[in-house]
Amino acid sequence: MHLIELNQLVKIYKNDEVETPVLHGLTFSIDKGEFVAIMGPSGSGKSTLLHVIGFLDEYTSGSYRFEDQEANTYTGDDTAHIRNKKLGFVFQSFNLLPHATVFENVQLPLLYSDIPESEWEKRTRESIEKVGLSHRTDFDVTRLSGGEKQRVAIARALVCSPDVIFADEPTGNLDSKSGGSVMQTLQDLNEKHGHTIILITHETYTAEHAKRIIRIKDGLVESDTEVSQRRHTDGGILMK
């Protein structure tokens, strides 16, 4: 059973009489424990795809199965539960609470969960530790660097123990050194802790941390390739 399975997935935005097709029939699957980068230029449909498979938007036709159930058969309560318990989101703009501590930001999703309050502190501190920020636990997030802020956002995405972490252009606002640190954090979460990571990016150096790259162009899959973690001497990546 695949964790995520798409078959001829179509998404068309409708505004009055105007239809704008964005996804034209995507077919691929992702298994639990994979680290997949979805690459494509601006306007290729990759962010729309993330919204659909992340239960943030509906699809027009075709099939999207999550945990072997058709996504459009889940009730509203089901999808709210999936987003809260099974999916974690990391966005380019961090979306942290200003003038709150690292601990307070990471704990936030637990306030809206069914996880007992007695577990909140333990889960929060474990998530912060996973991203290497235990020494910043009580810092106001305004005192952190951009890379540290993104790692706080990753810890927040982790705190409810989701099956999947969606990272949408997580290095887009960072310099290359901070971006590399954030990507190493995601890679460690996949390799050491078994989290499924789905990365949306247009940057090759970011995608090369994944084990598989799906390239999207004009709303279609252009290529789907496994990546060797061995690097060329010029810094490129080897495709299997």
Q: What is the pLDDT of residues 133-165, one digit of tens each?
A: 999 999 999 999 999 999 999 999 999 989 899
Domain ranges of the chain: 4-230
Q: What is the pLDDT of residues 111-124, one digit of tens each?
A: 888 899 999 999 99
Give all strands of the β-sheet with 164-168 in edge-to-edge order. 87-91, 164-168, 196-201, 35-39, 212-217, 220-231, 237-239
Mean pLDDT of 77-81: 90
- Encoding tokens for residue 64? 């999207």
Question: How many CB atoms neighbour CB 31 within 10 A?
Answer: 13
Helices (H), ranges, 75-210: 76-81, 102-107, 120-130, 146-158, 176-193, 204-207
Query: Hey, what CATH topology would domain 4-230 get?
Result: Rossmann fold (3.40.50)
Arithmetic mean of pLDDT over the chain? 90
Q: Look at residue 92 and tell me whether its pLDDT is greater than 70.
A: yes
pLDDT at residue 113, rounded to an integer: 86
Q: Which residue in the block uniquely carries the two structure tokens 């969960």?
A: 113
